[in-house]
Amino acid sequence: MQTRHLSFLLCAGLTLGGFAVSKMALARGPDMAGGVAFPFGPNLSASGWQSVRSPWRRGARFSAHGKDALVVETAGGFGLLWHAVPRQVAKAEQARWRWRKQEGVGPTDLTKKGGDDRVLALYFAFANPADVTPGTDLSELLRSGHGQVLIYVWGGAAKPGTVLPLPYFDGRGRTIVKRAANAKPGVWFDEEAGLRTDFARAFGRPPGHLVAVGVSSDADDTGGRNVVALADLCVK
């Protein structure tokens, strides 16, 4: 990624840092005490992030910036990172993060397979404890037919707050539009989500345990380009 892109996305006002706790970090902020943050640096692999790639699609580029920020760039491609969730927050009720785009695909139909590009998406995967083991990864869980995924999206054509069916995973996924595709570029947006409340609203029942979080960017259907940053991701 060119230096000017990093400078644009990660400018004044982004606070980096944290206190490591077994590769995780304590969440900061008065309402997140006791929660867990998901650092991205010093590098993604060392911080416990794993990549899921498709052999049939161009990928995305994910780059840690400092400890708590991630820069994502994709041009006509798709990419997904995921991280296991520690047991101490398996029943997490809240999530918080910040994100900012420089460039992004326009409005799309998020319910249409092959037409659902989005600027950025955060995955929160839930499952019954009996369906997962410490070695189970997100892609294995989704292929197994177990678990559900709640996805918060920057993108699409629906109004923020809209719950949409996900055209994948055989009905085990739901999308919640968090930020419109045409939201102003160059601005950090602070987000928060009630995970268990939103899950119940989307699926009509309580969730299992939170087992993984993921970050994806998708521009392969429109051939568009996304350049976006994510920071301070935490759950409680």
C-beta separation of 233 from 122 below 8 A:
yes
For residue 70, CA distances in Å to 9, 134, 158, 204 come to 10, 25, 26, 33
The pLDDT value given to residue 5:
39
- Sheet hosting strand 148-154, strand order edge to edge: 50-52, 78-84, 209-218, 118-127, 148-154, 173-179, 163-165
Task: Say yes or no to pLDDT of 12 above 70.
Answer: no
Share of the chain above pLDDT 70, in %: 85
Mean pLDDT of 65-86: 95
Q: What angle do CA 233, 37, 148 make, to 5 degrees?
A: 65
Which residues, 6+ apart, have CB-to-CB distance to 32 below 8 Å?
94, 96, 234, 236
Region of residue 179 (left: phi > 0; alpha: psi -120 to 50; beta: else): beta
Rounded to 5 degrees, φ, ψ at 218 are -140, 120
Looking at residue 31, what is its pLDDT?
Answer: 63
Q: Which of 234, 231, 235, 184 is nearest to 65 (CA)?
A: 231
CB neighbour list of residue 63: distance below 8 Å, 6 or more residues apart = 1, 6, 70, 71, 72, 73
CB distance 102 to 8 below 8 Å: yes
Structure tokens at 154: 């920057």
Domain housing 29: 3-235
Residue 196 — φ and ψ, nearest 5°? -70, -35
- How many folded domains does the chain comprise? 1
d(CA 90, CA 210): 5
- Mean per-residue pLDDT, 24-53: 80
133-163 pLDDT per residue, tens: 766 777 778 778 889 999 999 999 999 999 9
Indicate the residue type of 18. Answer: G
Q: Is 91 helix (H, G, I), strand (E, B) or coil?
A: coil
Q: What is the mean pLDDT of the chain?
A: 86
Instruction: Determine the average pLDDT of the residues in 160-183.
Output: 95
The CATH number given to whatever domain includes residue 62 is 2.60.120
For residue 206, cis peptide bond before it (omega within 30 degrees of 0): no
| Mean per-residue pLDDT, 2-12 | 37
